[in-house]
Structure 1
Amino acid sequence: MVESLNSKVEIVVDGTSYAGFAQYGKIMIGNAGFEFYDDKKVSNFVQIPWEEIESVTVSVLFGGKWIPRFSIKTKSDGSFIFAAKEVKAVLRAVRSHIGKEKMYRSLSFFQVIKRGTSALFKKKN
């Protein structure tokens, strides 16, 4: 069995990790870090201490009404993509630990298209 980073747990919700194939399990937010534990296979887990998190990027659709997923970028291990049943509660708990300045909103579909087309027609100096 894996030992948790946290000594005090703030929130536990059902979630999905998109590391390779989708893995369903529990997301746990506590005093020491962010954790994901797979329901079926105990050896599949992700533990990220708060000091290791560089940024959190949130995918927001329909004018802020729906948040399908979020990505946590770490300083050394790359980025991890997660979804949760209660995403807003998870993100509020994460924000209280890492600060608002490390939370970002991802670009919308049209913003990506606009940047791509403007980059095509931009003159090279």
Structure 2
Amino acid sequence: MAQSQNTKVDYTDRATNLDGLTSGGNVMLGDVAFEYYNEKNVEDYIQIPWDEVDYVSASVIAKKTIPRFAIFVKDGRHFTFSTGDNKACLRAIREHVPADHLLRSPSFFQVVGAGAKGLWNNTIGRLGH
């Protein structure tokens, strides 16, 4: 069984880990780390120390609904979660991660637009040479 890295707990909530096969559990934000524990398998846990967090990206729908967020760590991996109250969870994360490291994920249309722009630029670049 995993030992918590935190000495003080700031926020807890029910959560779903959306990486690979989804699993339900609980998140705990404390003074040292973001921690996720699977409720059915105590050996399935994720502990992310705050000093390892590179940035946090939140999906925003209709300028106010946040269905999920992802925590990107410095070694290039990321972990995606959804909690009972994502806004409250992100507010608690904001206490440990600098504001300029909290980002909004690109919307579906922004991703499609960037892809179309890239295709257009590649096509024009080939025609010009």
* TM > 0.5: yes
* Distance 1:41-1:77 versus aligned 2 partners, 3 A rule: farther
Aligned counterparts, 1:4-43, within 5 A: 4-43=4-43
Superposed CA deviations along residues 64-112 of structure 1, whole A, max 9, x for unmatched, are 2x10100000012610000000111110111111110100101111111
| Structure 1 vs Structure 2 CA RMSD | 1.1
Task: Work out which of the two has the higher radius of gyration on C-alpha atoms and give 1 or 2.
Answer: 2
Unaligned runs of 5+ in 1: none
> Which residue of structure 1 lines up, in the alignment, with residue 100 of structure 2?
101
**Secondary structure, counterpart of 1:80 in structure 2:** strand
Unaligned runs of 5+ in 2: none
**Secondary structure, counterpart of 2:25 in structure 1:** strand
Letter in 2 for 1:106: S
The runs of 4+ residues in structure 1 deviating greater than 3 Å are: none
TM-score, normalised to structure 1's length? 0.95
Identity of aligned residues (%): 38
| Structure 1 residue 120: Cα displacement | 1.1
Separation in structure 2 between the aligned mates of residue 77 and residue 117 of structure 1, nearest angstrom: 26
Separation in structure 2 between the aligned mates of residue 63 and residue 50 of structure 1, nearest angstrom: 27
Separation in structure 2 between the aligned mates of residue 23 and residue 11 of structure 1, nearest angstrom: 20
Aligned residue pairs total 124
* Distance 1:26-1:90 versus aligned 2 partners, 3 A rule: same
Letter in 2 for 1:18: L
Separation in structure 2 between the aligned mates of residue 120 and residue 73 of structure 1, nearest angstrom: 28
**Secondary structure, counterpart of 2:106 in structure 1:** coil
